[in-house]
Structure 1
Amino acid sequence: MQHCFTYGSLMCEDIMSAVSGARCRFVAASLDGYRRQPVLGQAYPGMVPAVGACVSGVLYLDLPASAWPRLDRFEGEEYARRQVVVRLQDGRLETAWTYVFRPEYAARLVDGEWDFERFLHTGKARFTAQYVGFDALEGDGLA
């Protein structure tokens, strides 16, 4: 079992549980040395290394092994899974996996900070409708 740091649509527990096929405990966390930007034409963000920046997100604890192939498939070719060290609100550090936007797709990132609250109010419904099949990933032999 390993932890997963999320910083976009997967910060929503309902989306994360549908995608991963698991309900896991979660806590607030942040990741230094990265920034989160909107992806052109999409409701979700991409995260890239950036000196002096910090991304706030959600750390899902102890994901089962069955969740990782589902998450990899959901994130697709634009993202690479990387191991990082995140900081919890109480200052403790935890090692986790996260999905970083691949450099070869950087031209798709829009300047500025992706806004989670805006996503909740204006983008989540559209995002969920676009990705209506993500909760059926186990049908693809990934369970």
Structure 2
Amino acid sequence: MPCHVFTYGSLMFAPVWQRVVRGQYRAQPARLAGFARFAIAGETYPGMVAQAGAAVDGVLYRDVDERDLAGLDAFEGEDYRRITVRVAPDAAATLEAQTYLYLLPQKLTPSPWQADAFQMERFIGSYCRDRLGG
């Protein structure tokens, strides 16, 4: 059954997303309350953990099919666990979505991860070379 997927790091960027999934999905900005996103020491991508009073801005992909969800699970790997959350695509509503919680908080830096500083080419060269379209 298709589900919505909330992304908050490398997968927010179309060049990365399109290397991981095969389908075409509608994307829109969304916010997830109760979580915070941090840089991971030595990495270009972030980790997200539960944190009261915080919120993470990201991209919501609508109606992702099971095949692509399995591909996203494989891409995220064992350092992340897919969980169900409620995200707000606008101020008036929330909806259920899947997202990836980071499982190694000891590797997080105290610095928030900044999307505008994402090193896309470095990331794609390191993590997407053998992926579809990469």
C-alpha contact (below 8 Å) 1:11/1:58 kept by paired residues: yes
Equivalent residue for 1:134?
A: 131
Letter in 1 for 2:5: C
Between structures 1 and 2, the one with greater helix share: 1
Give runs of aligned pairs for residues 1-143 of structure 1, distance below 5 A: 1-102=2-103, 105-119=104-118, 123-131=119-127, 132-135=129-132
CA distance, structure 1, for counterparts of residue 80 and residue 107 of structure 2: 12
Compute the displacement of 1:31 (Å): 0.3
Counting matched residue pairs gives 131
Between structures 1 and 2, the one with greater strand share: 2
For normalisation by structure 1, the TM-score amounts to 0.88
After superposition, the C-alpha distances for 1:51-71 in whole angstroms (9 at most, x for unaligned) are 000000000001111101110
For normalisation by structure 2, the TM-score amounts to 0.94
C-alpha contact (below 8 Å) 1:40/1:108 kept by paired residues: yes
Equivalent residue for 1:141?
A: none
Gaps of 5+ in 2: none
CA distance, structure 1, for counterparts of residue 97 and residue 26 of structure 2: 14
Gaps of 5+ in 1: 137-143
RMSD between aligned residues: 1.1
After superposition, the C-alpha distances for 1:86-123 in whole angstroms (9 at most, x for unaligned) are 01124211100000001xx111111111000011xxx1
Identity among equivalent positions (%) equals 36
CA distance, structure 2, for counterparts of residue 26 and residue 80 of structure 1: 22
